[in-house]
Structure 1
Amino acid sequence: MQRTTEPKMISGTANLPLANAITRRMSMHRGRSVGLVDARVERFNDQEIFVEVYENVRSEDMFIIQSTSRPANDNLMELLIISDALRRSSASRITAVIPYFGYARQDRRTKARTPISAKLVANMLVEAGIERVLTLDLHAAQIQGFFDIPVDNLYASPIFALDIKEQFKGELDDVMVVSPDVGGVARARELAKRINAPLSIVDKRREKPGEIAEMTVIGNVTGKKCIIVDDMCDTAGTLCKAAEVLLENGASEVHAYITHGVMSGPAVERVSNSVMKSLVITDSIEPTEAVKNAPNIRILPTAPMFAQAILNIWSGTSVSSLFETETLEPIYEGLFKG
């Protein structure tokens, strides 16, 4: 593959603020201006998506920045069409940077005659010409195996650990990490190890999706500052209920660190009126004005990590080095102060 002087980035419309933040961060790293490739993504009157790339991308190493968040189908089609446009323009390699990977919750057949949509999406991405995927906190790690191309799955836990150490400075002995369900124990344990905190679990039983029949706390949370850790917050029903149950079981206060703030329907109102002192999310999904204005919601930036990951992929160096707090700390230096 011909080596170019700079990686080239193009963005769909799903999260332009994050795409621009990534290019600004890369400009700092490279010591020269790095911008998005000039292109237009528009919709015809019938909502067909049209893409036109205005710059020459022949033999370029291309990175498409596009979360497949709401509207998931539109943003997924944008990603596929942009990739097709780049492939037909003779780009040497196309990497999809997908901060939030939609359809990840459909990673297995839960009952008869249901699809495995995450696998279908993986097939579509490969057929569109994508040769590598960079994403953040996949809902299920086994989705990486749905692809026959390299998939780099970054983790938010190192960023969360840095923020927690700053926010709870001098109080870390009182912190307990909580998994909101048994399935998320591995994710919660990973963060607990990073901040040297104990682990508890909220065991929930659902009668049907969106409804919670019963919650039980496994572990002693009395007097603890509980931090609920999960990969996504959709309607926030489970999250707010878990916070109430933790306080009923003796927790002194409850916070939550969630990677992907889907925040559908009544989520913002629920969080604002909940007993949680704070909800911390990343900007993997572009936050709405309601999310930005919520008094107890904070947003952590992912651009420094994605910028470094893109540069590492482009230069052929390790991406897994970004899993370590020691590697991310200088990249995030000064961002968590105050």
Structure 2
Amino acid sequence: MPTVFEPKLISGNANLPLAKAVARRMSMHRGVNVGLVEARVERFNDGEIFVEVFENVRGEDMFIIQPTSNPANDNLMELLIISDALRRSSASRITAVIPYFGYARQDRRTKARTPISAKLVANMLIEAGIERILTMDLHAAQIQGFFDIPVDNLYASPIFALDIQAQFSDLSKVTVVSPDVGGVARARELAQRIGCGLAIVDKRRNKPGEIAEMTVIGDVEGQTCIIVDDICDTAGTLCKAAEVLSEAGATEVHSYITHGVLSGPAVERITNSVMKSLVITDSIQATDPVKAAPNIRILPTAPMFAQAILNIWNGTSVSSLFETETLMPIYEGFYG
């Protein structure tokens, strides 16, 4: 088997800007050009996906960068077919870099006769020849147990902590808020990182999709509130939580969300809401309305993913990237 000199990256169509940014960061770290493997990923007239890899990948350590965001089914199939093409081309190892793991919200049976789609997706990825998963902020941490291969789940909270420390001078007047009881652990972890208080917005529903009541647990009067969550889809709950916090005496409300799905009326709701800003990552490629929204800001994840890929390739620790201090030099150009 030939010696592997550099990790090799390949991308589907889900988030090409992120894939190119990861390649640029890896080139900076390595001091040599690390580009995307030349390939074509296209669709026939009937919607079938076709992949052709133009470079020799025999014996190479391959990393496929492909979030399974909207359209989730197309992007998932691209990932599976790229993996199959690499496996049949004798790649040494195939790692799927999935910044946003679609179907993660279907991680359990909520009622009778329903699927566990996240487990099905895990089975499909393994059958396609993928030997390792690198992702960020899985909606449910137990999804890692759906795989019989290594799964590295990165966290956006160290990046959020760096940004919050750069944006807010007096952290004693900042309170981190979980928008529901289920997200308390995530909010507490960020609050501990930046050394500030914690509050919870407790919501009750009369029926699915309809919020009957929201209550703030904790004192937010005179505080700058930062709502933290992993996914923002239609933004209904997020905007309502911001209103409730403002009514409870919060001076400002900001939100930090890892995955900006932002479907349907989300951008319009956020633009018209009392939130001063919504900060998301580029795990999902931003649409033009998201880029144009005056109160939405996007944080880069390429530095973190580039370092994680290099650590996997080198066989060194990925968990070191869980610490804010470790990310400081990686994000030096962004936060001084």
* Range class of TM-score, shorter chain: over 0.9
Give the structure 1 partner of residue 112 of structure 2: 112
- Quote the offset at 1:3 in angstroms: 4.6
Q: Deviations over 1:103-124 (max 9, x none)?
A: 0000000000000000000000
SS of 2:34's equivalent?
coil
Q: Matches of 2:160 and 2:74 in 1, distance apart?
A: 30
**Identical pairs, percent:** 84
**What is the TM-score with the length of structure 1 in the denominator?**
0.98
Residues 1:39 and 2:39 aligned together = yes
Q: Matches of 2:245 and 2:92 in 1, distance apart?
A: 52
Give the structure 1 partner of residue 78 of structure 2: 78
**What is the TM-score with the length of structure 2 in the denominator?**
0.99
SS of 1:326's equivalent?
helix
- For structure 2, list consecutive stretches of 5 or more residues without a partner in the other structure: none
Residues 1:246 and 2:248 aligned together = no
- Quote the offset at 1:210 in angstroms: 2.3
Q: State the AA in 1 paired with 2:326.
A: T
Q: State the AA in 2 paired with 1:216.
A: T
- Quote the offset at 1:2 in angstroms: 6.2
Alignment of 1:1-338 (within 5 A): 3-169=3-169, 171-336=170-335
- Quote the offset at 1:208 in angstroms: 3.0
Q: Deviations over 1:21-60 (max 9, x none)?
A: 0000000000011100000000000000000000000000
Q: State the AA in 2 paired with 1:153.
A: N
Q: State the AA in 2 paired with 1:7.
A: P
- For structure 1, list consecutive stretches of 5 or more residues without a partner in the other structure: none
Q: Matches of 2:237 and 2:304 in 1, distance apart?
A: 29
Q: Deviations over 1:50-89 (max 9, x none)?
A: 0000000000000000000000000000000000000000
Q: Matches of 1:227 and 1:262 in 2, distance apart?
A: 19
Q: Deviations over 1:157-202 (max 9, x none)?
A: 0000000000002x21100000000000010011000000110000
Residues 26 and 34, structure 1, Cα contact 8 Å, conserved in 2: yes
Q: Matches of 2:205 and 2:23 in 1, distance apart?
A: 43
Q: Matches of 2:159 and 2:252 in 1, distance apart?
A: 21
SS of 1:335's equivalent?
helix
Q: Matches of 2:232 and 2:248 in 1, distance apart?
A: 23
Q: 1:220 to 1:2 in 2, by over 3 A?
A: farther
Q: Matches of 2:333 and 2:36 in 1, distance apart?
A: 26
- Quote the offset at 1:211 in angstroms: 1.8
SS of 1:257's equivalent?
strand
Q: State the AA in 2 paired with 1:213.
A: A
Q: Matches of 1:158 and 1:198 in 2, distance apart?
A: 17
SS of 1:194's equivalent?
helix
The count of aligned residue pairs is 336
Residues 7 and 63, structure 1, Cα contact 8 Å, conserved in 2: yes
Q: Deviations over 1:195-240 (max 9, x none)?
A: 0011000001123332211101000111000000000100000000
Q: 1:241 to 1:90 in 2, by over 3 A?
A: same
Residues 2 and 92, structure 1, Cα contact 8 Å, conserved in 2: no
Q: State the AA in 2 paired with 1:239.
A: L
Q: Deviations over 1:125-165 (max 9, x none)?
A: 00000000000000000000000000000000000000000
RMSD over aligned Cα atoms: 0.9
Q: Matches of 1:209 and 1:233 in 2, distance apart?
A: 17
Q: Matches of 2:130 and 2:67 in 1, distance apart?
A: 15
Q: Matches of 2:283 and 2:111 in 1, distance apart?
A: 30
Q: Matches of 2:333 and 2:96 in 1, distance apart?
A: 29
